[in-house]
Every structure is written in C-alpha cells, then in structure tokens.
Amino acid sequence: MNKTRLSQNLSFRIASQSGKAYLRRVLPYRAYSGECEGIVVTFIDVTQLRESQELFQLLVDASAQIVWVTDASGIVTEDSPSWRAFTGQTYEEWIGDGWQAAIHPHDLPGLLEHWQAAVSTGEQMHHEYRLRHHQGGYRWTQVRAVAQRCVDGSVHRWVGMNIDIDDRKRAEKELEKAKIRLDLSFEASEMAPWSWDIPTGEVVSNENLNRLFGFAPTQSITTKEFFERIDEADRERVLASVERSVEGGDVFEEEYAVNRVDGQRRWMRARGQTQKNSEGEVEGFFGVVSDITERREREQDLVDREAHLRRVINNQLGLVGVIDCNGNLVEVDDRSLEIARTTRKEVIGKHFADAPWWSYDPNVARQMREAMQRAFDGEVVRFDVSLFAHGDEGVMIDFMIAPIMNSAGEVEYLIPSGVDIRDRYRAEQRLVENERRVSMALQAGEMAAWEWTPEKSFWEPKLFELLGLSPDSTPSPELFFSVVHPEDLPLLQQHWLEAIEGTRDYEIQFRIVRPNGLVRWISAVGIITRDDDGKVTAIHGLNWDITDQKEYEIRLEASEERLRLALSAAELSLWQWDVDTDLWFWFDDRFEDDELATSVPLGSLADFLERIHADDRAEVEASIRSALENSEPFRSEYRVYSDGEFRWVLSLAHLSLEDEMSPLQMVGVEVDITERKNSELILKLNEERLRLAGEASGFGSFHLDVLKRETHWSSEVRRILGYGDTEILSDSFDDVPQFIHPEDREAYAAAIHQALTDSRHPRGDLEHRVIRPDGDVRYVRTNWLSMWNESVDGPKVEQVIGTMLDITRQRDNERKLELARQQAEVANESKSAFVANMSHEIRTPMTSILGYAELIQSRITDPEAREYLQTIRRNGDYLLEIINDILDLSKIEAGKLKSIQRNSIPPGSWKTCGASWKCVLRRKI
C-alpha cells in the first residue's frame, strides 16, 4: 500500500449484501516516532441516515414540479433537471442567471425584486409568476424558497420549489368574471341583496341596494336611515313583519313604498330570512329586494281601468257586457243582473246565448247565436229584441253586438249592448248630467284657479303651492314665467301673448322648475272674456299637476316600444290545431302595418310531428296527448328542422273548449331558443371542466360571500372533509366550522379574521388539522385571497376565494423523518460518550504504567533491561497517541477539533517497531 495513502484518513460509503449501508473509515497506525506502522479500519452503520435522505428527496419530488438550489448569493451553481424538463432549457441556458430567460417578461422585474429582497434579508420568499413551458406558452407557477443555514446562522445556500398553479389562476379569473356577471344581473334586473347584522344593527350595503333606495353608491346605510326611507303608511307593518321573522324564524316577505330624497316614490318587494348561530340566537338577517314600481303601476292601472269599465258599464241604460272569443260572458252590468234576478256567478263564464235574458225562448236564443257568429266574422250586428225581465212580459231593447279586433285583425272580444227604447230620452238626459258631473269633478280635483286682467293677476293659494313659491309673492305673468322650464318658456310665452291678444284659446302643457330644483309637468287651460268690441278683458283659468300622467305616458311608450321590439326580435311563430278535424295551421306573424296574418295549412298532427327531430318526437307527442286528456296547457322544448339545420324552440299552447270536457282546438306559439340552449351547454361544459380540474389536482375550493354571509364549498373540499354534497359544513357564517381540530381553531379564527380585516395582505395560507365525521384527523393546507372594494369608510372585503389541499401524507413523512433524525442523534451521542469514557478508562492505568516504567528505569543499570523499559515507554506513548486520536474523532463529530500540524511519521517510530518485534522473537525463542 502506498505510504502516502497510508498517511491520510480515508472514508468510503459501502453497502452490504443485507442491504444496510456503512461508512468505512481507514486511519493510519503510527508509532511513537510518528511513522505509520499500520492502519485502523472502522465501520459505522448509516442505513437510517441514507433512508432519511432518500425519503426527504422523495418528499421534495412529490410536493413540487420543480426543485432547484442556489448559493448564498442567489446564483444558480447546481443543475436542476426538473427545471430544465419543465422549461426545455439546456444546462448551459439554465446555469448562473440564464434561468431568467424562461420567466415571462412582464413578471421578471417583480420576481427579481422579491428574490433580491429575500437574499438580502434571509427570509422565505413566496411569489407567483408565469414560467415558459417546454410545449410552448407560459404557465403560472407558485415559487417558495427557503435558506439553508450554517451552524453560525449564516446562509449556506437556497433551496426552492415551484408548483404549477396555472389551472387555479384560470379558475380564479373565471370566478372573477362570474362575479361581474352576477353584479350586472342584479343591476339589470333592478334587484339588490341586503343583509342586516342584528347584534350591531348595521346594514351591509352595496351599490345596487343604495341605488334602489336613493343613497350614494358608496354610502354606508344605517338601520335607521334604511327604515326612514320606507313610507310612513308601510313602515309599522314592515317593522312588525321583521320582528315576527326575527322572533319566530318566519320568512320575511313584504311589499312597501320607498320615498327617495329626489322626490321619487318607488315600490319595493323584499324577501329574506334570519341566520342563527349554534345556540339558536339570531345573528343576521339577509335577503333580496327588487324594484316593482312598474309592476305596481301596471296593476294599479289595470285596477283603475277595470273599475272605470265597471262604472261605465253600470252607468249604461241597458244591457252591456263583454264576450270572449269562445262566446262566454266575462263581464256584464249590475242592472241587467237585477232585471233577470240572477247573479254574476250564474252567468259569468257561461255561453252568452244560454243566459237567462234569451234562454226563455229557443227562437230568441237561436237568433242570438246567429248574431254572435256574424259578429265573430267581423260584422257589427244591430236589431231590436225583447229582453227577459223577472215579473214582467219583457222589455224591448235596441240591441247591438260589435266585434273588438286585436293588432292582428282577429276578433278578440264581442261587446253586446242593449238600450230600452222607451227610456232613451231619459237615458240621454242622465248621460248629459253624468258627463257634466264628471267634468266638474275633473276640474275640481287638485287644481289651482287663477284670474288675469290687464291691471292685475289673482292666484289661489293652491297655485303658489303648485309652483313652489311663497304665498307672500306678488302674482304676475312674469313671476309665473320665472319658474317655467327654459326649454318650454318660448312656446308658453307665445301662447300667452296670442291668448291675451284674443287670437287663440289658452290651453297648453309645459314644465316648471321649482326653487328646490324639482321639475314638474303642468297643464293649463283658460277661458277668455271679451268686451263688446272683442277685446280681451280677463282670462280665468286652471292649472294642475300632470307629472304622474306624463311619467306614466313616457313609461307606457317605452314599455310599448320594448314589447314591440321584443316581439319583433323573438320572431314568434303561431300555430293552431283543430282536434276534431286533425288539421294543423301555421300562421306567418311577420307582416307589416295592419296586414292580417295569413294561415298556412301544414297538414295533420302527424305532419307537424314529422318536422320535429326524431329524438324529441315521442316526448312532444306524449305532451300534446297529456294536455288533451287533462285539459291543461301544453309546454315543451324540442328541435325542428329549419333552413337546412335543426334549431331549438319553446312551444306553449292552450286549449279552446266547446264545453268543460271536450277540447276543440289547441292554439300555440313557438319561440326560437337555440342561442339559450347553446349558452346553457357552454356553461355546463365550463362548470364540468372546472370541477374536473379541481379533482385532478387534488385541490378543493371554497367561496366566502361576505355580502350575503354565505359560504360555498366545492365537491372536492367535501370529499377531503368526508362530507356529502348536501350535508351542512358550518352552522353559521361567523363561526369556526365544526370540522376544525380543537387545537387549531384559534389559529383558524385568526387567519379568517386577517382575511376579512387586513386589506394590506389579501393573500394568506394556513396548515391545520380537520376532523372528518368518521373521526379521522387529516392535515390540510388552506390558501385564500380576499377581494376588497374601496368605499367612503375605506376598503371593505366582499368576497374570499380559497383552496384546500390534503397534506396528511406529507406531514406523516415529515414526522417519520424527524423521528429518524432524533434516533440517529441519540445513537451518535451514546457512541461519543462510550468513546470518551473508554479513552479515559485506558488513559488512567496507562499513565501509571508509564510512570512506574520510568521509575524502574532509573534503578536498573543493565543496558538490555533499560532497552526493554524504553520500548515499553515508547509503545505506551504510542498507545496514548491512539487514545488521543480516538478522542479527536469525538471532537470532530462534536465540531470542536482544532487543527494541529504534526509529522506524518513521528521520529523513532521505526526503531520502536523494531524493538517490539525483537521482544516478540525472544519470547518465542
């Protein structure tokens, strides 16, 4: 063996056939002179250490797509196969600063800033950026870098890993788009969510809610301000309903009027329910409110029209009614009911020819049927007929039945009327009187009278109030003109000038602007008084507020325009099926002006079904048959062949009955819903892709809607937590979920508090334990992102989006690795203690031997004996050297050995070796 190699300490790692790993160390054996006389070989079992290292490497490979290492200054000095496999870079392109070329140019400056800050401070780095993929394009990754430190605390090197989060980033973007669409839906539908924190009394406001109640978009609404906007007539009722919901848990549902600060009065419909904690105490009250002003106005208009129609009908002198397209009576005056001593229940909904006014005589009833048929053909029929009167021989009336057409030119209603010929004059006089009373009532209702003469003007106090002026003002045309809207002033002045000159009557509508800025519509009419020469001497007039009428007319025009555009855009197709003859007719609704729609015979029911997609045909036919058998409306969605392709349509139809049991015809409409079907399919596919992405990556997602105080969990989160899709995970929005481990609940609550209050750190993560319903404890990593919105009171959190990942296996491996490390340290400490103790036990008797050998040498004069003693002394010293080397080994492992320079072979080592062999040979001899 080479002496140079013998003078060095050598270490090798070897594996035995049993699979264990050993560290073999070869040390030189030196004599007292320092010369190497042999070697000492030791074996140390490092099997557990090797397994721990392999386990650590496996954990690293399993937890990240990319793992890399840099030196203490952040420069790449080692290869990272996983990085190069992901990016496609070569080793030369990757090493040093070459890795920067794979970073997206927009993300590189921010990444370098975070990386340099981490290298400077030694703190961990977390960052997200886009990394070029070897297949092309960039993918979002999340990087985490940790410093590996030396014993003295200085940074030895940096170890980092990248995780591919591109799917998560795309999902977050889609979620953000979905939120925007939801907000736009609320705004477009005149709806707004609301929530009320019962303990604090605070109303969580939003822009849509503020807009509906007339508040500023970012204004925070108090409970008091909220209820003050409700009209006094409805306020007590609404408060009582709220109290019942809070105390009894009933669903809150009310309609009420809201008075805005701009003078508008809007009708709202609110629906909500309470939120209780685990103790059953009410913590919140949330729901949705919608603006139903237009609906209420339409309903009120319908009520007014119906009441007006009934008043008109009841004030007619004779029979007046309304007949639907089936010949059934739907309305009749009260006087005609009194004449025949019958009730509305007995005649309404029955065929008009079967009513008691005509059924007393079959010939009269037949004559009435014939007249109705002529009227349905579009003719106005008029004749004299005897009307049955109870207790009388009958009353001869002038009877007329007239058709009412719809916009398509089809007869929609018949209006029968009859007048007692004997009382015609008296009826005309009464009608004139009624018209005069109506005229007086219209003029007297909420009107302001005034008088003008060339000398002065006189206004009633009501006119000052109408114009918003002080009653102390001096009335004059100039004062009146001062409040007229600038756009209407020229026309009004022209009318007034022509009126006082006597060239035209005074009647006009215009706008005024009150001193408080409120704009109102005014109607004015004046009666001109002239002298004998025809000169105007005075004008007496009335003014009244017609703002509501004007706004209604504007809304009505807009509504009619929207309805016209909707019908035109919908491209409705009408059809009719005569059940008895099995004839199917098709109506072309695309006509212009007042041109009547034309019907096109399509054939029979079988011909109609033939144009339907084969997969939908059986279901459509079954629905039609069911509608016939059960006398119920028909509704179905199916595909029809049109213009060379199949398109989806929604078909609705109702039955026309000859009597209560026999259907005669079915009339329906088809609406093209192809685009809606395609949108539903795209939405379904997007949701399925998002769900599959979450399941494939093992990540579950959750969504905290702070505005609605609701929490939504994905199916993957429920799988991690061991819950089904319909099970409730949390009893209350504000409580820590019951599945959080008791020892981690405080940390979880602190993390959620940070997400809901700390706008400077919208992102966060937490590793904690959860308890599944079966008692299994799992470790999870929760990451979240808070979405904030600026308001007058500062930033407010609206949504929290998060993910959850099961890391139980990772945590178990970490615990096993830590246990193996602790066991290795204990074994090493025991070995060191043994070596130190053994060295001490040998050194103590050896020192005595060497001391006594030196004392004996001073008493012996025989040269040979002295040489033997000298040999004992030299070998003892060398043995002490070995003991010191053993102690040095312990110091090396403890990190306390100081460097000592010495000769590789001590002087006199060969001489000592020869003397030792000489003694051995003599003993053998």
Written as six digits, the tokens of 411 are 């007869």
Higher pLDDT, 835 or 502: 502
Distance CA 228, CA 213 (A): 10
User: What confidence tens digit (pLDDT) does each residue in 208-240 have?
Assistant: 888 888 888 888 878 788 888 899 999 999 888
Q: Are 733 and 711 in contact (CB under 8 A)?
A: yes
Helix, strand, coil proportions of the chain in percent (round to 5)? 45, 30, 25
Q: Are 457 and 469 in contact (CB under 8 A)?
A: no
Residue 99 has pLDDT above 60, yes or no: yes
Confidence class for position 570, pLDDT limits 50, 70, 90: low
Lowest mean pLDDT, pick from 113-122, 164-173, 633-642, 910-919: 910-919
Q: Are 655 and 665 in contact (CB under 8 A)?
A: yes
Residue 58 has pLDDT above 70, yes or no: no
Distance CA 22, CA 42 (A): 10
C-alpha dihedral, 749 to 753 to 756 to 760, nearest 10°? -130
Distance CA 412, CA 597 (A): 14
The 10 Å CB-count burial string (b at 16+, else e) for 6-26 is beeeeeeeeeeeeeebbeeeb
Lowest mean pLDDT, pick from 23-27, 338-342, 711-715, 776-780: 23-27
Q: H/E element holding 204? A: strand 202-204
Q: Span 35-42, mean pLDDT?
A: 72
Amino acid residing at 120: S
User: What confidence tens digit (pLDDT) does each residue in 318-362 have?
Assistant: 677 889 989 999 888 887 888 778 888 888 899 988 888 888 888
Q: DSSP characters for 245-261?
A: HHHH-PPEEEEEEEE-T
pLDDT > 70 in the chain, percent:
80
Q: How far is CA 152 from the centre of its chain?
A: 52
Would the pTM of this model clear 0.75, i.e. be above it? no
Amino acid residing at 197: D
Higher pLDDT, 700 or 663: 700
Q: Which pLDDT belongs to residue 1? A: 46
User: What confidence tens digit (pLDDT) does each residue in 758-793 have?
Assistant: 888 888 888 889 998 898 998 988 988 888 887 777
Lowest mean pLDDT, pick from 70-74, 107-111, 660-664, 672-676: 660-664
Q: Are 124 and 109 in contact (CB under 8 A)?
A: no
Confidence class for position 924, pLDDT limits 50, 70, 90: very low
Distance CA 143, CA 112 (A): 12
Written as six digits, the tokens of 388 are 């049955």
Residue 693 has pLDDT above 90, yes or no: no
